[in-house]
Structure 1
């Protein structure tokens, strides 16, 4: 486990998101923005296990997943600003980041919309005889949707290589989990015969070890597994959310995963100077990302209908002569 790497990932996500909030409030980012602030330990801990060829499915709150995967902050920021140099040439925006070369099969603006995509990707990996896995992130609101149950059922039935990662921040938009769900997640997941583990989503190493434990079985071909990370979003559902459904104490009462882990590193013997230098390097990188995005060209309207379709691949093993 690379502890400095975990901290660097969380720090990058936090400071990236803080810049995004400022740019959005300045009117430089169109649409809606859903910040990942407070949940950094989940993306960092899970995606530290990502191997080449693995696929990742994200959510509308997906900036953290993209950055933890190694998506260039310049390209991610440019995409949020709608510029041609973005990961999707400015066509995806905040809720539809996509970076196939990193294995990111897309963020998704539809709650639970990524789950059937994860099942499809997992089925594809299995049919092609590949050893890679799918890491599928979603929020607690997704567990009340039909495709969540359909997805778990098929993944378990077909023993697909998927790690389902529930980022349970206790609120589906403005409604608490307790007000909208009649079941316990653990009981439901185990009813499908899927291995389940709950971890403290504010502790990076707890997430790392929990994901690693479950991924052993998934990578060995034993079928899907399910990680529930109890976490907190420190900001509203979206930037500008009046947050009348919860108190400020509840919103900010949880431990900060970034600050907590920094303290942990110092107490374990890491020098303050090393952390400071790492942080300064990230600040320079993110300042460069903002400058790159703001000075990048806008897409040409003539490109609006490009990149919509792809020719199907017809080299499936079962079609061999």
Structure 2
């Protein structure tokens, strides 16, 4: 697959409403998405989106924090301070940030194992993230989940999941709970193109459509799954049409967007939430791109070229898009943005230091948070009776 086919050079953001910008949060900037939306059995939303100087600055800051966190995680993994599996999100930050800008913390999210940045987007802290990555007690899952199992129930973030596609039916269950309780909120069940061919996804789609569940099936299509290009693994790589691409199967309504454009993500998620609350489930496919390999054990360059990766960084990087828009509207200088990035680096380094100082989970935590009371304790013998008292 040639570079010219994989990368579409995009025009800069089109500024439709250019006016003198101030720090006033009521000032409105109207932008147009870099690519049009594509609808399937629905009319796509408008390409024009309103934003403010405050939101633009926040988008840049939050994505820069996520990017720096993943770079630090790369270093920690190579230093063997992070063990096991580790899947990085750099390049895909606009999905998390744009989605959060369109919803509330009462709306739920469930995702796969590429979950660090989604956790931050839900309000998690850098300390909680790094501590969990290193298996420390201060982690969001008490250091027992590691990279693939971040969790924050208080913010309706129901985790990363290590089994490919398994989170989607769970997301439908959470959506069922929302409907049963008559809550005016939605569920985002996130999965990648690598999981899009899973049978359980189609079963979940069927049930969600039958019961009109308030669930958004959000496919983060980063083009390669675990290392196989989408056009080699899927007869129909237009995942947003999966509701009825097989004759006789008709499930839902769908739209596809540019997942590296934070404003397109925001607009699509706003549209999807409104649709779901009125009509039931929708599929939203977001075309995005990961800069690292599938996981830290994957160099990411055996099935794609280095020129392709650098081309995406140059042409479509989500952070650089927002940087250009900030500069074009005189909201900050290049130096001010650089200084902000330097401060972010210091904050991330400080969080890493604090996480390293956090202790490992206590031995008494070994059998807590298990599904069934007493499960597994007997395998350690009768001399470990003290552990039984810690079970819920």
Normalization by structure 1: what TM-score? 0.92
Give CA deviations for 1:219-238 in whole Å, capped at 9, x if unaligned: x3321122111111111111
Task: Find the counterpart in structure 2 of residue 156 from structure 1.
Answer: 209
Residues 81, 134 of structure 2: 8 Å contact kept: yes
**Separation in structure 2 between the aligned mates of residue 287 and residue 82 of structure 1, nearest angstrom:** 17
**Separation in structure 2 between the aligned mates of residue 266 and residue 162 of structure 1, nearest angstrom:** 37
1:252 CA drift (Å): 2.8
**Residues 259-268 or 185-194, more deviating:** 185-194
1:126 CA drift (Å): 0.6
Task: Find the counterpart in structure 2 of residue 124 from structure 1.
Answer: 177
Q: 2:195 aligns with which of 142, 148, 164?
A: 142
1:233 aligns with 2:260: no
Residues 195, 214 of structure 1: 8 Å contact kept: no
Which structure has the highest helix share of the two? 1
1:275 CA drift (Å): 3.2
Gaps of 5+ in 2: 1-50, 374-392
Task: Find the counterpart in structure 2 of residue 318 from structure 1.
Answer: none
Task: Find the counterpart in structure 2 of residue 77 from structure 1.
Answer: 130
Task: Find the counterpart in structure 2 of residue 317 from structure 1.
Answer: none
CA-based RMSD = 1.7
Residues 103, 269 of structure 2: 8 Å contact kept: no
1:283 CA drift (Å): 2.7
Q: 2:349 aligns with which of 284, 287, 290?
A: 287
The secondary structure found in structure 2 opposite 1:143 is coil
Q: 2:259 aligns with which of 167, 186, 201?
A: 201
Gaps of 5+ in 1: 312-321
1:277 CA drift (Å): 5.1
Task: Find the counterpart in structure 2 of residue 214 from structure 1.
Answer: 272
Task: Find the counterpart in structure 1 of residue 331 from structure 2.
Answer: 270
1:274 CA drift (Å): 5.0
1:47 CA drift (Å): 1.9
The secondary structure found in structure 2 opposite 1:265 is helix
Task: Find the counterpart in structure 1 of residue 361 from structure 2.
Answer: 299
Q: 2:234 aligns with which of 173, 181, 189?
A: 181
1:93 CA drift (Å): 0.3
Q: 2:306 aligns with which of 248, 253, 258?
A: 248
The secondary structure found in structure 2 opposite 1:142 is coil
Normalization by structure 2: what TM-score? 0.75
The secondary structure found in structure 1 opposite 2:364 is helix
Q: 2:186 aligns with which of 115, 133, 139?
A: 133
Residues 156, 192 of structure 1: 8 Å contact kept: no
Give CA deviations for 1:103-150 in whole Å, capped at 9, x if unaligned: 110101111111011000000111111111111211001111011111
Task: Find the counterpart in structure 2 of residue 316 from structure 1.
Answer: none
Residues matched between the structures, number: 310
**Separation in structure 1 between the aligned mates of residue 299 and residue 337 of structure 2, nearest angstrom:** 35
Give CA deviations for 1:143-186 in whole Å, capped at 9, x if unaligned: 11011111111111111111121110111101111111112323
Residues 221, 287 of structure 2: 8 Å contact kept: yes
Structure with bigger gyration radius: 2
1:279 CA drift (Å): 3.0
**Separation in structure 1 between the aligned mates of residue 253 and residue 336 of structure 2, nearest angstrom:** 39
Quickly say closer, same or farther: Cα 1:249–1:276, change in 2 above 3 A.
closer
The secondary structure found in structure 1 opposite 2:216 is strand
1:17-32 equivalences under 5 Å are 17-32=70-85
